[in-house]
Amino acid sequence: MKSLTPRQQECLNTIERMIQDNDGFSIGFRDLQRELGYSSPSPLTWLLKKLAEANKIAPLGKRRNAIQLPNSKILECPDFSGLKPKHAAALTAIVQLTNDRGMAPTLREIATQLDLSRGGTQGRLERLRGMGLVSWSRVPRSIRVIGLSAVETEGEG
């Protein structure tokens, strides 16, 4: 196998650092583009394709917004049976969406999964945050269940 070019290695190092800063979960294409200082997505798309061909990152597929390493993490879903069913459903939805997409879900995605309005979902998440069970910031895709452990999974390839 050919070794990586300096630019590919720089990109891979940046991906590894950003994923580590994101608690082991995937990162977004635009975030990586900004971090590397590219004004156009074309050079980054090419670099990611080459890294995927070298099995350094997970294949991108149609969703290039979830850049992952071959050994990604999934959340272990604990038993939420001690909570009200509506709270347990919201926490389970966050865990499932995070595992399915490799990144924290958006409010809209949680609302769709729960079949609620965004306002109703936000109110439910506010209650869960008050209970110390979830956290988020003003940054997109920052909704997290507090205190869950992630488990490494074997990558394909």
Domain definitions of the chain by residue range: 1-70, 74-152
Long-range contacts of 41-50 (CB under 8 A, 24+ apart): 44/11, 47/7, 47/8, 47/11, 48/11, 50/8
CATH of domain 74-152: 1.10.10.10
Average predicted confidence (pLDDT) for the chain: 81
**Lowest-confidence range among 8-22, 46-60, 65-79, 92-106?**
65-79
- pLDDT category at 75 given cuts 50, 70, 90 is low
User: Which CA distances in Å does 143 have to 56, 91, 94, 103?
Assistant: 28, 10, 8, 9
CATH of domain 1-70: 1.10.10.10
Distance CA 53, CA 12 (A): 13
Predicted model pTM: 0.58
User: Which residue blocks in the chain are alpha helix, DSSP H?
Assistant: 6-21, 29-36, 41-53, 85-101, 107-114, 118-130
Write out pLDDT tens, residues 138-155. Answer: 777 788 888 765 544 444
- Tell whether the model's pLDDT for residue 114 goes beyond 90: yes
Q: Which residue has the higher pLDDT, 62 or 36?
A: 36
Write out pLDDT tens, residues 89-102. Answer: 999 898 888 877 77
